[in-house]
């Protein structure tokens, strides 16, 4: 386990997403036996605590020897340490991937809220310094006229980095947890079929919250809330899209994969898929994907 924790930590230094691809299946297997039978109940919690303890010790050591800043260590500990443990515990308890997935996002959401509440001036300063370094680097490449035309775009990017840092940070956590859960599901008797992913109705309260915050002029917070909730419904929307592409993939996998990839290059198509995911809880969008009106 120590070697796995070291490997996960090293990968997390470069990418939370790829670290979660390793951590989520590994940690979940700590509470489910390899043959897909539950291990003895007396060893479930200690196994998770052992993983979290070793992971905490590694992050603490990196901070003490000054190889890792405290804030970055906390980010890694929350996203790659706590979130997989919460996911495994929730999956063991509820036996539903959607519920476990949403529960596992809670530590990350609490962290980014406290992080922005306590360290927002520091986050803003880092973003502005990064933007200045980037600007000084490209000034030698582009002409003054080109730089002047690019300035509004660069300024918008800076504002996104500052005021959208919460949602940007959560992207890697959401996609990493989701993909890691799918990887575990492939080798488990407790399956999570991509074409049947549907989040509970209560997730839509997040949309209402984001809109209320927007109306109350808390624009930065509302954008982050709506973006994170939108990411969840983008996943569900892709699940709906997969229902329609599934039959096509039986004839040509290449064509089916192309149909799934094309929307990534168009924000309008991504928005349409997100809306489809939102409406999927209220309208029978999936049944039209199956022949003779058969439901999934």
171 with 268, same domain: the answer is no
73 with 168, same domain: the answer is yes
Which residue range(s) make up the domain with 141? Answer: 1-192
Whether residue 108 contacts residue 79, with contact meaning beta carbons closer than 8 Å, is answered with yes
Helices 106-138 and 165-186: angle between axes, nearest 10 degrees: 120
Render each residue's pLDDT in the chain as its tens digit; 296 residues.
Answer: 888 899 999 999 999 999 999 999 999 988 875 434 444 444 456 888 888 999 999 999 999 998 888 888 999 999 999 999 999 999 988 999 999 999 999 999 999 999 888 888 888 888 788 777 877 777 777 777 777 777 777 777 777 778 888 888 999 999 999 999 999 999 888 899 998 899 999 999 999 999 999 899 888 889 899 999 999 999 999 999 988 888 777 777 788 788 888 888 888 999 999 999 999 988 888 877 665 344 44
16 with 155, same domain: the answer is yes
Task: Give the global pTM.
Answer: 0.86
Our CA angle for 84, 171, 198, nearest 5°, is: 75
Point out the domain boundary residue: 177, 192, 207. Answer: 192
Whether residue 166 contacts residue 116, with contact meaning beta carbons closer than 8 Å, is answered with yes
117 with 226, same domain: the answer is no
Q: Is 200 helix (H, G, I), strand (E, B) or coil?
A: coil
Q: How many domains does the chain have?
A: 2
Point out the domain boundary residue: 192, 227, 244. Answer: 192
d(CA 94, CA 216): 36
155 with 181, same domain: the answer is yes
Length of the chain: 296
CB atoms closer than 10 angstroms to residue 247: 12
134 with 177, same domain: the answer is yes
Distance of CA 249 to the CA centre of its chain: 26
Whether residue 235 contacts residue 277, with contact meaning beta carbons closer than 8 Å, is answered with yes
Tokens of residue 249, six digits: 């993939």
226 with 131, same domain: the answer is no
4 with 138, same domain: the answer is yes
Point out the domain boundary residue: 135, 161, 192. Answer: 192
Residue 143, pLDDT score: 74
230 with 174, same domain: the answer is no
44 with 103, same domain: the answer is yes
DSSP 281: T
47 with 140, same domain: the answer is yes
179 with 213, same domain: the answer is no
Let me know how many helices (H) and strands (E) the chain has, helices first. 13, 0
């Amino acid at each position: 386990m120590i070697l796995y924790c070291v490997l996960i930590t090293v990968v997390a230094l470069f990418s939370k997403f790829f670290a979660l691809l390793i951590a989520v299946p590994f940690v979940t297997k700590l509470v489910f036996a390899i043959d897909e039978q539950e291990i003895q109940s007396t060893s479930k919690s200690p196994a998770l605590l052992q993983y979290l303890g070793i992971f905490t010790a590694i992050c603490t050591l990196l901070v003490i020897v000054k190889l890792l800043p405290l804030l970055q260590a906390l980010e890694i500990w929350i996203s790659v340490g706590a979130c997989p443990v919460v996911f495994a515990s929730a999956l063991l308890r509820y036996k539903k991937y959607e519920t476990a997935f949403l529960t596992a996002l809670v530590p990350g959401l609490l962290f980014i809220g406290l992080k922005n509440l306590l360290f927002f001036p520091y986050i803003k300063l880092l973003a502005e310094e990064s933007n200045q370094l980037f600007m000084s680097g490209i000034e030698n490449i582009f002409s003054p006229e080109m730089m002047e035309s690019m300035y509004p775009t660069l300024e918008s990017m800076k504002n996104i980095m500052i005021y959208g840092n919460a949602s940007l940070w959560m992207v890697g956590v959401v996609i990493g947890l989701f993909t890691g859960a799918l990887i575990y599901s492939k080798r488990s008797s407790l399956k999570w079929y991509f074409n049947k992913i549907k989040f509970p109705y209560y997730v839509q309260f997040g949309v209402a919250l984001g809109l209320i915050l927007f109306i109350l002029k808390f624009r930065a917070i509302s954008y982050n809330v709506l973006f994170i909730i939108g990411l969840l419904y983008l996943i569900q929307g892709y699940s709906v899209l997969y229902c329609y592409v599934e039959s096509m993939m039986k004839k040509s996998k290449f064509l089916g994969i192309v149909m799934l990839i094309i929307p990534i290059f168009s924000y309008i198509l991504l928005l349409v898929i997100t809306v489809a995911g939102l409406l999927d809880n209220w309208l029978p969008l999936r049944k039209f994907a199956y022949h003779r009106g058969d439901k999934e």
